[in-house]
Structure 1
């Protein structure tokens, strides 16, 4: 961490009275008040701007809050292409128009990006079962200030803008529904995707924990992935709360 340079102090030497041999014995030496004063130069430094990312978890920290490989049932394996994080640095936040979202991305990893808001750090992993074609994805995104609350609100706008979309593989219509969900983090929202051409639907859950948003996608289970999505979300939310509490204490 770069430290500010120390303040420079200038000390003026006090003027000492000079005893003059020519003075009469009755006179006493006195200091000249005008010449004997000391001056202290005060350094003027601009205040250091506050770090907008102070206290926010990094991608490295978020990665440790995700459910580990041991959490997933036998048959599930990590997909390297779906495993990413921002490491120990932060990225610049960005906001783009979400007025016309690409609705088909609701069925993809990083679907939380449909809100049009990008955070300063994130971590994500994806697990798939080749035998059943089931998928479980998890992601945590961190935002500055109260932006995470805006992201949650924007999810309702995404669902309103995407009541249906066409599945690229089956060319069939996917129906999208969304509802607020209690008991997960500070607030949560669940999105369900169903299609008569699919064997099973998809459940998406977003849960906010302070400045972070946990997003999960699940196709695992005959209930459109609802139970497995909730279980994974609970796991990540609990782990994230522990990380956030430790960061705040530090």
Structure 2
């Protein structure tokens, strides 16, 4: 028997941006959504961290990357370390490879550009709240365009994705959702040692050197939702 996270019936959101106009814009886009509510807002990272203990219902944090006092990446790391249940959705004007990978490595689950529309924003919130990842089309293109092709890459052999077992695919899905080994073990009712073995096998089969590389590979071959 396996379990997987599902979106809560009601998604409570924290918006963090140093421009009030952006906060109001996001709130306007979310108006009328029966399952999404803006629970709190902050203009910087320290303020956001002070608010989080007061709003335990928050499940998604929408963060601007370029903020004074504490960058969005630094705030992502802080939230991910203390509140791992909160899914982080980055909101930025830029989608360069460095920015995107920094967000992923800091525990981010999604990345949107500030020119996003209502439909994409709502879809992103629901996706990350349900434990999935979400990247706007431009961001996904950036990740794929910067795929590092291993020196031993065999174009004939690698024309198709690696043959992962059913269990390895389950572990891959949870790795992409930023689950720790202990959380994966509990979700799949297996030992942490077994999870670590699966993780090593997945990295080997996909020729990936890191979680970021693995997510790139999984996106390329549509192995994650």
State whether TM-score is above 0.5: no
* TM-score category (smaller protein): under 0.3
Q: TM-score when scaled to structure 2?
A: 0.25
More helix by share: 2
Q: Which has the larger radius of gyration?
A: 1
Q: TM-score when scaled to structure 1?
A: 0.23
More strand by share: 1
